Chains A and B, each alone.
Chain A
Amino acid sequence: MPRIERHANVHWEGNLARGGGRINAGTGAFEDLEYSNAVRIGTGNEGKTSPEELLAAAHAGCFTMSLAGELTRAGSPPERIDTIANVVMDEVEGQGHLIVESQLRVRARVPDIDEDAFRRVVDEADAGCSFSVLIKGSAQVSIDAELEV
């Protein structure tokens, strides 16, 4: 199997409280994304992103592709899958800030599959999504998946 590498660069200036940074994707798909600590832990975003928002986008993308792959393998390729990932960072006593949870909400339109088979495929997609597996160092992954008619 080929080894695929993907990278991103960050430019940061100053301390944590008042400093800020910019994030650039190696592919050029996104560039100069601004972020700061205030936005990361606060409720307003001022149009700025955060590591957790990037992880949420990654998890939604990863799970969706994994589910498309498993459904195809099971003989029921999907018409459409919509996934929302909600990544939660919290302060854990004695351990500082940790990513504690990623909650996935999945809606799939799949011709010719029954509910039981769909459940099995969702579990396989979770096991096969590289990101779901990866973040289990500190985070729980929960999945709310439904078939759409």
Chain B
Amino acid sequence: MAADRTGKATWQGDLMSGSGEIQEAPSGAFGPLQVTWAARAEEDHGGKTSPEELISAAHAACFAMALSNTLAKEGHAPERLETSATLTFVPGEGITKSALTVVGVVPGIDEETFVRAAETAKDGCPVSGALKGNVELTLDARLIAE
């Protein structure tokens, strides 16, 4: 079954001096969020989000779900996964990289099996599928004892 999800944005004025708003998400989970070019393209974000940050959130979330599924299928449902995605954006060039990390608490699994499952999730999650071939995808996976 297909799942549709919607986002809305508004912009006023030119790119450099204008500003925009990503409206409240239809689910009500976030927003409205203010965006500007300066906050997007300079190191200092001033607490404002950007398309790249939203994509990193989507990717980290997608990866965590895929990994929980891969682990559970192998009989090792995770207690806890802490994932992150860091997107690299080069203004004028585009998004060049998404770096995934995961630290997992998974009962009864060894490091090698965990890392292999993380690689599978990195390659298989739908957000990775959309980005694949267009950006560098990296993974740093670590297992910790609780």
Contact = CB atoms under 8 A, between A and B. Distances in A.
Interface of A: 1-17, 19, 21, 23, 25-30, 33-35, 37, 39-42, 45, 47-65, 67-69, 71-72, 77-91, 95-100, 130-131, 133-139
A48 to B, nearest CB: 6
A25 B91 contact: no
Given A8-B85, A137-B129, A53 B26 contact: yes
Contacts of B127: 51, 55, 99
A46 B18 CA distance: 34
A25 B133 CA distance: 25
Given A7-B86, A25-B49, A96-B124, A72 B15 contact: yes
A45 B55 contact: no
Contact of A138 (B15, B57, B78, B129): B129
Contacts of A135: 130-131, 134
A12 B65 contact: yes
Task: Give chain B's interface residue range (CB within 8 Å of chain A).
Answer: 35 or more
A71 B11 CA distance: 12
Contacts of B26: 45, 53
Contacts of A87: 4-7
Given A55-B54, A135-B130, A30 B7 contact: no
A4 B97 CA distance: 11
A6 B14 contact: no
A86 B26 CA distance: 11
Given A30-B30, A30-B31, A57 B7 contact: yes
A3 B87 CA distance: 10
A61 B80 contact: no
A38 B77 CA distance: 17
Interface string B6-24: 1111111111101010100
A78 B14 contact: yes
- Residue of B11, B20, B64 contacting most chain A CB atoms (<10 Å): B11
